[in-house]
Structure 1
Amino acid sequence: MWQNQGGGFNQSGYGDQGGGGGYMSPGGFGTPQQSQERKSRTRAQNIMPSTVAQVLNADQTDDKFYQGDVELSQVTIVGLVRTVKESPTRIDYEIDDMTGPPLEVKQFVDNDENLPEEERVQAMRENTYVRVYGHLRSFAGKRSVVAFKMTPLTDMNELSCHMLEVIHSHVTLSSGQGAGGGAMASVNSGAGFSDMGSGGGGSSTIPGLSPLQSQIQLIIKNHPSDTGASIDAVCKQLRNVPEQQIREAVDFLSGEGHIYSTIDEDHYKATDG
């Protein structure tokens, strides 16, 4: 597979050759000039396809992480579940994608003993491949990902596709196109997307979305509530669209990691909001 060291892509020059792996500039991390330019770095606007090595080797300043000039906050990784530890409030995993040591992934849940079995969050099984969407965190010097979404792989082509997305993101950012939607590749090849604003927001820059999915993502992204946009609020803005179609689009956006549920399964916020 990929070499179990550094940035993973050592044969292609993307690995940890004394640098940090990831979407790095040719000069690597940690130089005085880069430290002075920290304030000019931009925040990633989408979930960034990453490897475990890139997460572990990302440059860190205070509680922020960087791949080159881009702040790395929300990531998606694909790997093998090595260990699973369950508790009523959290499921802990070790995820291994063969680019570095296994990465700790925490998924906070509410699996109270009084909750019906069918409503509990089911843990992923050991020795199965999963896709993780989450926020990068560091505690006591140990890095982990706090997952807001985990899905099992049903097609192993997704593993290869993910690694291509990682490379594409690296090339896009290194070529100076910035941290916009061009750095985020979708696993599904959608029907394209259109620049449809809604609710006072700008254009969607997420490739691979249909016009309806793109519009719903914008509505959720631009919703002012701290608890996110409800399905009902989306339906009110899209009166001519059947509710079932809206819910299917929401399910797709959630599964792809573009939005996530907040207080319940009817309220959502955008991950790049």
Structure 2
Amino acid sequence: MNYGNYDNQYSTSYGAAGAADGGGFVAGEPQSSQAAGRGGYGKDTVRPMTIKQILDAQQPHPDAEFKSDGEAFAQVTFVGQIRSISTQPTNITYKIDDGTGIIEAKQWIDVNNSDDPSSKMDVDSKSKLVEDGYCRVWGRLKAFNNKRHVGAHIIRPVTDLNEVNYHFLEATAVHLFFTRGAPNGANGAQPGQTNNNGALSREEVASASDSHLSHVSPLARRIFATLKNTPQSNEGLHVQMIASTMGIATNEVYKGAEELVAAGVIFTTVDDNTWAMLDS
């Protein structure tokens, strides 16, 4: 996919070809920008975002377009875990949590249109969207009575949890592009980039094996390497992001993080589930 003049190396095939209402990425018309080297993203493209980014998007007044990082957007895609499913005669509401926030995605049912896929309750496909399962959403951000939700065009189950990792990396890459411009050597490997199975390279693990970490477990050193090499905001990384990046369970992340906190090399930030590195 193409973000203006920036060919993103974290390209992911979402399987959304032919998605309703213009799903998929397209290049926007060139526009002025504060980020060096970026072209216009285009208001009608689909932007990968975290739920926190969606909830924090600016909208000066109810009729204004939404903006994130100073760039207008209309459609979004995100991944998360389904916390609840509420079925109504006219819509199905999914409450979705990605570790950065919770938002509702509403998929409306056109009961008068027999071709509407939402009205066909196919047991095989619908049964895969279950509570505590992961899903990907494409849709438009909307606000009603000061509460935001996503009007979903498509919601499908995530069958490969690596997709969660890919999405967070892609949302981070787009955010950094709009706020800092295209990186130097954008066509090459970036620091902290993981391999296809979400594991850190041997060199990255070794780089975290400093003398002050010699007494902690290999798991803790891997978590330290992940915090050191993964692009992030000043808030650090949430436990779910670390777990998906490393391909391990969240309870393992908590174990290793406790060791690193005790060693005085990381600290909690916005909550007890988010950590950042102490400045060396």
Higher Cα Rg, which structure:
2
